[in-house]
Structure formats: structure tokens, C-alpha cells
């Protein structure tokens, strides 16, 4: 490792067409036969230090707690710890160094390993053949992975984001098609990943808050033509764009009314008129490329439209703005709580590195960890990591209460039904237009009140990311020059963590969203963006 | 950096600024790519630094330097740091090595070295500037046979270790309580260098070295290394804060320019009060650094020792700088995280700079020792 210093050649996809950047070669030094969930693994890894149960008291009593979520979380923590031991920890530094040496380097081996370990179908519902892990359990997985590498957590987390975007559109027909590709990819060793493209060169925050979107400089647009849409324009900072087989593209037909005319499309890599631009030279999270995607008269057929105005027609009296706000809130709740969990992981990773360093280092005649001031700093870091966890557990709990996708009904039906033997029959059901229409209406027409989940998700994201940054900084100050060495891992954690304050809504925007959802409703005044 | 005190210094600052803009700025990206360049990125800009006399600003004229005070050095490094903090740190590491030789009473040797050097590389002296050697667990051992000193063992984090021809190496001598300093030719076979990838200031080319019986020349008195270090480093702690000051000024300027240009919600983001609040925070911190460093220079140049208060201000300046660069990235959002605007490099450089001359937490604790004469160091009972 690393073996592939350059982008891999285009591969033949499952459908027979060419997909740039798709991983194809046989696994090299990664473990190729990962363990599927087993009780034995759970017992062996959950018991590792730090003790999972001791760390996760909040998991056991959130409002609306489901026992099955605890079991899922235990399985996922065990899996993540095993993955960290066998894949992430031994390889991420070397892989990152390769990205410094050669900017064109992409960690295809790592993608392949994630695929082999089944990490790209973790959150695909069981009714579609996936592993059906609930977001309230998956957050623990993201924390564990991020203790070693937040970049790898993003690489995997984006698949969850794509899955969420598809599910909360209600378009089960398109969702099934894309999920099938992921599952097939796990069978034949050709990773099928999702990217979600929202940000544009001149509109970042504007596209993360629909109250601002109407005032933004939107450049990418779709034009309705017979049989589909023609897309023109660019998207930037699309995480995993260079790995993705499917891009979930957010665009609009009228940039002057971007929310009302918003269109969500599934665009397959290799589609004519869709090209990959550069991927950014980032400070951190370098194992998850942030890509520029260019669309030049790219035709997307109607059967790959995830959500557009035509599908929203006939909903009750909900405005397009309300419908799209619900759609965004549903997936932002899930993605922001996942990032908060990654931040908790980074905070823990910094703490663990600093504590191990202090334990191994002699300072002025005694072990460093015996100095009182060092113990206080470590206690502060421990508290920060734990507070970050509390923040995301709280937000995940709110999600369980107010997000239809994570509701008790969905959870129990996922786990109670024998989905596997029913897949063929269900395929027809998911493909039926009425099914998608019903699901869309249930999710988006009236939906549930999202304020608690959205607000706590935003709050958890900025609070946990700030705590993680604080821990990385304390670790560097404790470790001095040792902390600034690449092999010491802490400096990488700091670089990786900084992105958690920026993507999926900056820390500033998430403060606004927290105010909007949790504070403003209680006061007479408090209009947003009024100044 | 605050406006230089004299016309002469002002003119000097203008020369440095012009040099930095014309001859350092084009190399900044390549300097930051170190050690992954296929060429020596420091060759041109650092040769220019040497030719302008910036590798001896405080060095007495009798030794071949400019013989200027601390304010002049701070003016040079802060001006350079507005363009590239690693080039400014290159100046500082050399200044430290020279001051160590002076503290050891090695004026004659230093004069000869300066006189015979014909390039920046020949002039440069590597030193483990990111550590206080007293707090370094592992140092090489020095032994002497027939008047010839030899060094064995390893030394971590030698700044300029992969670039310079010579180094000033701290090593222990059996039966001496404290370490001693030795001059070592890094090109000899008995020295093995392994470059380290650091968080920031990449072009300083930090190396770990292995010494296998390397010939060395003792500098000053055996066991006096720590005393030399304490005396030499004191004013340079203020100069390192001046680098942080230059870096934060550039960071603020970049953030202001971006915020004026970038639109969000239909208007420049500088019109949003939360962005203004971030910028205001950056300004208050940046101004605090600049003014406190200016005052510290004035006190030192008028004959005062570097007081604990001045050292405290320098340490605090680094903390403030780390906060400024964090917000500097934040104002630019995703673009701040990419290499394009230089903010991410400043983010890394500021934190690397904070570790110059030793672990910041320990240096803070040592300030109390200097105020109260109660040792911070733990005594084993």
C-alpha cells in the first residue's frame, strides 16, 4: 500500500457502460473477506477499550428508545472497530501521504475494502435488500471510524447521505434501481457509490438553506425537454464525486425561482455531457475527494428524475417551498447528526492520542501523565469528547421522534418482515408509480414537524465540531512538536476536523438553523436574514 | 507589524516587502509542497534572503551581520510572513543558531563561518528549533577520544535538517547534568537524515537524524547548552510572535477581500453581521498581537531584558494567531479549506509556529518559575 498511484482506468459497469473511476481491480493488501455481523464479533469488539456500554449510556434511555437500535449500534461499533484495526489504522497515513505526493492519487484500494466489508449498503433499507441499519445506530459507527480518520468516515457517510436523499424523496422506483447497483457492486467487487451535488461555484451556503436559495447566484439549471431534462452548469465540492457511480444532483429549471422549480436527478457517471473536473487540493479529509462536476447538455431521462415539480403536482395545499424544505430537513437531520458523531469521534481520537502520548512520555523526571496539569487537560478533553457524544445522541433521539424514516413504524417493519424472499414481488411494488406517489405524499406533503430534529441536528453538528477542534488544539499544545508530525496522527485529525465546521452547512449557518428551529418559535420577534 | 520606528527601518521594510512580493510569493506553493517537490524550492527565495543580509539581522557587524535590534528582526520576519511564514521561520532558525554560538563565546568561529559562506545553504545552520532540548527525552551521546568529539545516537525534529550543510546539535556528555552543543557537518557519511512530514512550515525540511560516530566540534563549555539556549532564545520568542503577527495580518486581509467580493443571500457576505463579527474578532486579535510585539521590541531595544510579561505576550500571540487562522478559513467556507487562497496554509503554519522553541504548555508553566523563582520542574524525592 498504496499501489495505485494514479486514477484507475475506466471500468465496465454492471450495466455494460463505462464508469470513470470505478474500482475494479482485485483487492490487494486489504482483508478481502470481511466478517458479516456476528454475535462473536460483537462480543469481542464491543468489549474493547473504551467500553462501549460505559461510553453510550445515553443510548439506553433516549425518548422513544428501541431495543433493536441498541443491538444494531453494538453490531456497528464492533464492525467499525474491526475495520479500524484491519484497514483504517494500518493504512490511512500512508494513503494520505500518497495524496500529498501525487495530487492525482485516489485511494481506490480503500474504496474496494469498504465495498468488500459491506459498508456501502449499511443504511439501505432491508426492504430493498440492504442491511437496514437505523441512523440512530449508524451514528455510533461514524464516531468509531472518525476516531481514526474522519476522511474515511466521510467516504462511507456519503453513501448514507445518498441513501437518505433517495428515501426521503419518496421515489422508491429510482431508489430501488440505485440500491440494486450498490448491492450488485458488493457482490461482484465493483463498488457503486453515491455522491450528492448541491454546492455551486458561486453558491455554497445559499444552497444549504432554502430561505436563502432564492437570493443566491444559481448557475446550474435543468431544462425540461421531451423525455427528460437537459442539464447545464457545474457543481463543486461534491464529496466522493470521482468515485461515484451515481450522482444525486440538485438543480432547478428557473434560477430566478430555484426552490419552486427545484429538480433532483440521478445522473450516472459516464452519461454523455457529464464530465468530472478537478478534485480539490484540500487541507484534510484527503481520502474523500471533493469533486467538480460539469454538465454540458447532459440529458437525464424521466425515469431517473428523483423529484421534480410534476411529481409534486397534486399534493394538497403545501407550497413547493414547504415541500422542498421538508425534503431537505429530513436528510439534513440525518446527515448533520452523522457529522456530529464524526466530530465526537475526532474529539475522542485526539484525546486518545494525547493520553497515550502522555502515558508513554517522560517529562522532567516523571511520566508526563503524572503531572497534575496534564491530567486536567486530559480530563477536559475527555469531557469534550463525551459532551460531543451527548449532543449527537440527543439529536439522534429527536430524529427518532420526528423523522418518518427513522420512526418506530419503519424500524419495526424493517426488522419484523422476511424481506429477502419477498424481494421479487416487492420490486414490482416499488416500481409502481402509485407506490412512489404515496410515499412522496406521506413524507413531503404534510409530513411531521421537523423542527426538533433539524434544530438539534444543527446544534449537535456545530457544537460537536467546535469541541473536536478544541480537543485537537489541546492535544497539539500538550504534545508540542511531536503532535505536529504526520505519523503522530493528531495533526491529521486537526486538519480533517476543520472540515466538519464547514461542510453540510458552515458552523455559522448551523447556528442560524438552531435559532430558527429551536429558539425563534418561542419569541415574538426573531426573523431570519432580516438585517 | 507596527510601523517601523525610524526612516531607515521603514526603508528596510519596504525592501523586504518588495523582495517578498517579487521573489518569495511565486515560490510559496512549491515551498509548501516540500518534501514532495522534484527540485529545491527554497533555492531561489532563500538565496535572495541571504543576499539581502536577512540571515544575520541581529548578528553584530563585527561578525558579518547587520547589527540591528529586535525591532528590525521583527520587521523582517513579520513582513516575510505576510507572504510566507516558512521563509520567515527560516530566518529565525538561523538567527537562533547564530545567537547560540554567540552565547557560547564563539564569535570568532561564527565570523569565519559567515565570511567563508557563499550561499544561503553554506550559511545556514540547522537546529532542533521545535524543541527545547532540555525537555527532549532522547539526545545523542558525545564522547571524546584524543581531542576529537564524536556523536552517537538519534535526534528528532532537526529544523533545516534536510537542507543545511551544517547543524548545531545538542548532545549529552556522560557525567554532565545538562546537554552540550556541537557543530556537525551533516553531509558526512556518519550522519543519516530522514525527512519528517510536519503539519505546517513544510519548507523548513525538518529531519530526524542518526549519528554513528559523527565527528563534532564542541561549542562553548561542556554542559552549558541549556544556559546558552535560554539566553539566545528569549528575544526570538518575540520574533516568532512577530511571524504570527505577519501571518494573521495576511489572513485578515484575505478574509476581508473575500468577504467583500463573495455574495450570499443576494449581497456581499461582509454585509451579514455574523461575518462582520468573525472579521471583527480576527481584527481584535491581530491588532493585539501587533501592538504587544511592538511594545516588547521597544523595551528590549532600549536595553531591557526580555521580561516574563514579554514572553507571556509572545505565547499569547500564538494562541491568538491560531484563533485568527481558524476564523480566516471559516470566512472563506469551502474555499478557505482548499489551497487556492492560502488560508489553509496559514492555518497549518500558525500551529506549527506555536511549537517553535518548545511545547507551549511547558513554556507557559516556566513563566511562573521566572516570576517567583519557584521551579516548575518536578524534583524526584
Say what the pLDDT of residue A47 is. Answer: 64
Confidence label for A198 from pLDDT (cuts 50, 70 and 90)? very high
Decide if A503 touches B, using CB distance below 8 A.
Answer: yes
**pLDDT for the residue numbered A530:** 85
pLDDT of residue A34: 63
pLDDT reported for residue A220: 95
Query: pLDDT tens-digit profile of A306-364?
Result: 999 888 877 776 788 889 988 998 899 999 999 999 999 999 999 999 999 999 999 99
Nearest CA in chain A to B375: A364
CA–chain centroid gap for A64, Å, is 24
- In terms of Cα–Cα distance, which of A413, A154, A389 is closest to A289? A154
Give the pLDDT of residue A316: 73
Is residue A420 very low, low, confident or very high in pLDDT (cuts 50, 70, 90)?
A: confident
Residue A13, pLDDT > 70, answer no
Which grid coordinates are listed for B134? 532540555
Q: To the nearest whole percent, how much of chain A has pLDDT over 70?
A: 87
User: With an 8 Å Cβ cutoff, is A365 touching chain B?
Assistant: yes
Taking an 8 Å cut-off on Cβ atoms, the answer to whether B361 and A483 are in contact is: no
Show residues of chain A in contact with B272, CB under 8 Å.
Answer: 531
When pLDDT is averaged across residues A188-206 and rounded to a whole number, the result is 90
- Rounded-to-integer distance, Cα A184 and Cα A91, Å: 26
pLDDT at residue A370 greater than cutoff 50: yes
Query: Which of B114, B133, B206 has its CA nearest to residue B163?
Result: B206
Beta-carbon contacts of residue A72 (< 8 Å; ≥ 6 apart): A133, A134, A137
DSSP of B305-357: ---HHHHHHHHHHHHHHHHHHHHHHHHHTHHHHBGGGSHHHHHHHHHHHHTTT
Quick check: B199 and A101 CB within 8 A? no
pLDDT < 50 regions, chain B: 378-381
CA distance readout (Å), A397 to A89, A154, A162, A202, A333: 30, 22, 21, 35, 11
Q: Least CA distance to A482: which residue of chain B?
A: B157
Q: Which of B93, B130, B199, B344 to mutate to test the interface with A (most CBs of A within 10 A)?
A: B199
A281 to B278: CB separation less than 8 angstroms, yes or no: no
Spatial distance between the Cα atoms of A100 and A73, rounded to a whole number of angstroms: 35
Q: Which of residues 291-310 of A touch B (CB under 8 A)?
A: none
Min Cα separation B135/chain A (Å):
7
Residue A378, pLDDT above cutoff 80: yes
For A285, the closest chain B residue by CA position comes to: B337
Residue in B157, B265, B271, B347 to test binding to A, most A beta-carbons within 10 Å: B265
Strands A221-225 and A228-239: antiparallel
Specify the 3-state DSSP secondary structure of B215.
strand
A501, B330: Cβ pair inside 8 Å? yes
Q: Looking at the complex, report in whole angstroms how far the Cα of residue A208 sits from the nearest Cα belonging to chain B.
A: 11
Contact status, residue B286 vs residue B278, Cβ threshold 8 Å: no
Closest Cβ–Cβ partner in A205, A362, A366 for B137 = A362
Q: Nearest by CB to A499, from B156, B337, B360: name it.
A: B337
H and E: helices and strands count for chain B: 13, 9
Tell me if residue A209 falls in helix, strand or coil: coil
B352 to chain A, minimum CA–CA distance in Å? 7
Q: Sort strands B141-145 and B166-173 into parallel, antiparallel or unpaired.
A: parallel
Q: DSSP assignment, residue B171?
A: E
pLDDT at position A445 = 84
Kindly list the residues from chain B whose CB atom is less than 8 angstroms away from the CB atom of residue A373.
361, 365
**Which residues of chain B are within 8 Å of residue A218 when distances are taken between CB atoms?**
none
CA distance A529 to A527: 7
Strands B166-173 and B207-219, how do they pair?
Answer: unpaired
- From the candidates B133, B155, B206, B264, which should be mutated to test the interface with A, based on the most A CB atoms within 10 A? B264
ipTM: 0.95
Q: Among A477, A480, A508, whose Cβ lies nearest the Cβ of B274? A: A508
Residues with Cβ within 8 Å of B92's Cβ and at least 6 positions away in sequence, in order, are B77, B129, B236, B239, B240, B243, B356
Using the beta-carbon criterion (under 8 Å), do A494 and B360 form an inter-chain contact? no
Cα distance between residue A241 and residue A164, in whole Å:
17
Check CB contact of A358 with chain B, cutoff 8 Å: no
Higher pLDDT among residues A296 and A417, named by residue: A296
* Interatomic CA distance for residues A425 and A227, integer angstroms: 28
Q: How far is A132 from chain B (nearest CA, A)?
A: 32
Where residue A476 falls among pLDDT bands split at 50, 70, 90?
very high
Closest listed residue to residue B358, CA positions, set B265, B198, B237, B248: B237
B100 closest CA partner among B278, B228, B263: B228
DSSP A443: I
Cell numbers describing residue A248:
444525486
**CA–CA gap between residue B133 and residue A362 (Å, rounded):** 14
State the pLDDT at residue A26: 39
8 Å CB contact between A318 and A446: yes
Q: Looking at the predicted structure, is the pLDDT value of residue A371 above 60?
A: yes
Q: Report helix angle A89-101 to A108-116, nearest 10.
A: 150
- The pLDDT tens digits of the residues spanning A27-82 come to 446 655 566 555 556 656 666 777 766 666 565 555 556 778 889 999 999 999 99
Spacing of C-alpha B113 from chain mean position: 21
Cis preceding-peptide flag for A50 (omega within 30 of 0): yes
Q: Which residues of A326-345 are buried (b: 16+ CB within 10 A; e: fewer)?
A: bbbbbbbbbbbbbbbbbbbb
The pLDDT of residue A44 is: 64
Residue A452's pLDDT band (cuts 50, 70, 90): confident
Q: Which residue has the cell 547564530?
A: B98
Which positions 421-440 of A are in contact with B (Cβ < 8 Å)? none
Whole-angstrom Cα distance, residue B28 to residue A520? 47
d(CA A254, CA A288): 32
pLDDT, mean of residues A462-484: 97
All three cell numbers of B267: 449581497
Mean pLDDT for A190-196 is 97
Say whether A502 and B337 touch across the interface (CB within 8 A): yes
Chain B nearest-CA distance from A119, in A, is 27
Amino acid at each position: 500500500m498504496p499501489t495505485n498511484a494514479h486514477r484507475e482506468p475506466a471500468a465496465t459497469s454492471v450495466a455494460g457502460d463505462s464508469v470513470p473511476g470505478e474500482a475494479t481491480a482485485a483487492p490487494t493488501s486489504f482483508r478481502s473477506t470481511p466478517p458479516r455481523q456476528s454475535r462473536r464479533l460483537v462480543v469481542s469488539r464491543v468489549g474493547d477499550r473504551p467500553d462501549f456500554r460505559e461510553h453510550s449510556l445515553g443510548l439506553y434511555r433516549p425518548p422513544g428508545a428501541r431495543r433493536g437500535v441498541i443491538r444494531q449500534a453494538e453490531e456497528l461499533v464492533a464492525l467499525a472497530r474491526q475495520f479500524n484495526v484491519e484497514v483504517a489504522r494500518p493504512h490511512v497515513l500512508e494513503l494520505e501521504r500518497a495524496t500529498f505526493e501525487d495530487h492525482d492519487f485516489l485511494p481506490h484500494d480503500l474504496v474496494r475494502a469498504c465495498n468488500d466489508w459491506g459498508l456501502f449498503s449499511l443504511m439501505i433499507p432491508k426492504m430493498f435488500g440492504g442491511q437496514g441499519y437505523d441512523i440512530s445506530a449508524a451514528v455510533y459507527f461514524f464516531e468509531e471510524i472518525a476516531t481514526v480518520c474522519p476522511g474515511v468516515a466521510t467516504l462511507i457517510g456519503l453513501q448514507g447521505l445518498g441513501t437518505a436523499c433517495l428515501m426521503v424523496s419518496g421515489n422508491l422506483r429510482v431508489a430501488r434501481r440505485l440500491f440494486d447497483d450498490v448491492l450488485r457492486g458488493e457482490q461482484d467487487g465493483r463498488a457503486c457509490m453515491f455522491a450528492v451535488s448541491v454546492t455551486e461555484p458561486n453558491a455554497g451556503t445559499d444552497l444549504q438553506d432554502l430561505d436563502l436559495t432564492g437570493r443566491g447566484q444559481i448557475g446550474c439549471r435543468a431544462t425540461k425537454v421531451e423525455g427528460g431534462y437537459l442539464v447545464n452548469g457545474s457543481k463543486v465540492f461534491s464529496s466522493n464525486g470521482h468515485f461515484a457511480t451515481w450522482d444525486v444532483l440538485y438543480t432547478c429549471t428557473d434560477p430566478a425561482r430555484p426552490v419552486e422549480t427545484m429538480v433532483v436527478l440521478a445522473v450516472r457517471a459516464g452519461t454523455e455531457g457529464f464530465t468530472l473536473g478537478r478534485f480539490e487540493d484540500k487541507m484534510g479529509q484527503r481520502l474523500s475527494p471533493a469533486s467538480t462536476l460539469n454538465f454540458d447538455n447532459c440529458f437525464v431521462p424521466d425515469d431517473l428524475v428523483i423529484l421534480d415539480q410534476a411529481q409534486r403536482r397534486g399534493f394538497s395545499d403545501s407550497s413547493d417551498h414547504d415541500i422542498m424544505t421538508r425534503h431537505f430537513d429530513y436528510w439534513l437531520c440525518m446527515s448533520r447528526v452523522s457529522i456530529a458523531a464524526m466530530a465526537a469521534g475526532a474529539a475522542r481520537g485526539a484525546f486518545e492520542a494525547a493520553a497515550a502520548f502522555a502515558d508513554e512520555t517522560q517529562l522532567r523526571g516523571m511520566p508526563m501523565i503524572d503531572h497534575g496539569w496534564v491530567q486536567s487537560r486530559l480530563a477536559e478533553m475527555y469531557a469534550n469528547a463525551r459532551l460531543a457524544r451527548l449532543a449527537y445522541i440527543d439529536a439522534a433521539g429527536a430524529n427518532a421522534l420526528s423523522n418518518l424514516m427513522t420512526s418506530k413504524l419503519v424500524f419495526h417493519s424493517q426488522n419484523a418482515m422476511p424481506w429477502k424472499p419477498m424481494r421479487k414481488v416487492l420490486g414490482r411494488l416499488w416500481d409502481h408509480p402509485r407506490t412512489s406517489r404515496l410515499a412522496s405524499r406521506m413524507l413531503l406533503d404534510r409530513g411531521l414537524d421537523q423542527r426538533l430534529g433539524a434544530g438539534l441536528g444543527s446544534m449537535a453538528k456545530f457544537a460537536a465540531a467546535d469541541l473536536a477542534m478544541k480537543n485537537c488544539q489541546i492535544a497539539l499544545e500538550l504534545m508540542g512538536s511531536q503532535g505536529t508530525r504526520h505519523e503522530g496522527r493528531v495533526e491529521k485529525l486537526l486538519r480533517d476536523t476543520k472540515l466538519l465546521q464547514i461542510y453540510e452547512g458552515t458552523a455559522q449557518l448551523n447556528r442560524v438553523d438552531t435559532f430558527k428551529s429551536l429558539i425563534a418559535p418561542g419569541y415574538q420577534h426573531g426573523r431570519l436574514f432580516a438585517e | 507589524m507596527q510601523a517601523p520606528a525610524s526612516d531607515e527601518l521603514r526603508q528596510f521594510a519596504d525592501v523586504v516587502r518588495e523582495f517578498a512580493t517579487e521573489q518569495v510569493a511565486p515560490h510559496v506553493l512549491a515551498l509548501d509542497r516540500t518534501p514532495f517537490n522534484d527540485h529545491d524550492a527554497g533555492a531561489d527565495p532563500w538565496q535572495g534572503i541571504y543576499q539581502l543580509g536577512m540571515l544575520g539581522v541581529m548578528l553584530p557587524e563585527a561578525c558579518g551581520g547587520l547589527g540591528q535590534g529586535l525591532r528590525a528582526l521583527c520587521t523582517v520576519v513579520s513582513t516575510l510572513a505576510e507572504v510566507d511564514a516558512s521563509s520567515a521561520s527560516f530566518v529565525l532558525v538561523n538567527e537562533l543558531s547564530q545567537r547560540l554560538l554567540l552565547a557560547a563565546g564563539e564569535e570568532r568561529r561564527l565570523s569565519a563561518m559567515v565570511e567563508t559562506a557563499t550561499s544561503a545553504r553554506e550559511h545556514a545552520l540547522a537546529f532542533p528549533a521545535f524543541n527545547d532540548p532540555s525537555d527532549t527525552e532522547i539526545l545523542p551521546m558525545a564522547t571524546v577520544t584524543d581531542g576529537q568529539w564524536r556523536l552517537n545516537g538519534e535526534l528528532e525534529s532537526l529544523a533545516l535538517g534536510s537542507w543545511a550543510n551544517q547543524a548545531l546539535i545538542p548532545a549529552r556528555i556522560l557525567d554532565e547534568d545538562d546537554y552540550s552543543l556541537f557543530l556537525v557537518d551533516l553531509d558526512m557519511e556518519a550522519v543519516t537524515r530522514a525527512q519528517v512530514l510536519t503539519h505546517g512550515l513544510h519548507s523548513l525540511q525538518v529531519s530526524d537524524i542518526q549519528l554513528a560516530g559523527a565527528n563534532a566540534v564542541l561549542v562553548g563549555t561542556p554542559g552549558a547548552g541549556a544556559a546558552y539556549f535560554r539566553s539566545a532564545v528569549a528575544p526570538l520568542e518575540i520574533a516568532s510572535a512577530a511571524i504570527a503577527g505577519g501571518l494573521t495580518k495576511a489572513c485578515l486581509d484575505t478574509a476581508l477581500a473575500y468577504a467583500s467580493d463573495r455574495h450570499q443571500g443576494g449581497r456581499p457576505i461582509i454585509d451579514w453581521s455574523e461575518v462582520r463579527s468573525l472579521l471583527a474578532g480576527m481584527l481584535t486579535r491581530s491588532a493585539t498581537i501587533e501592538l504587544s510585539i511592538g511594545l516588547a521590541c521597544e523595551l528590549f531595544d532600549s536595553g531591557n531584558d526580555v521580561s516574563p510579561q514579554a514572553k507571556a505576550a509572545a505565547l499569547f500571540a500564538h494562541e491568538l494567531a491560531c484563533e485568527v487562522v481558524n476564523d480566516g478559513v471559516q470566512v472563506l467556507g469551502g474555499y478557505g479549506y482548499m489551497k487556492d487562497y492560502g488560508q489553509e496554509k496559514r492555518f497549518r503554519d500558525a500551529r506549527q509556529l506555536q511549537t517553535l522553541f518548545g511545547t507551549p504548555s511547558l513554556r507557559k508553566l516556566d513563566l511562573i518559575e521566572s516570576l517567583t523563582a519557584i521551579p516548575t520542574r518536578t524534583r524526584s524525592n
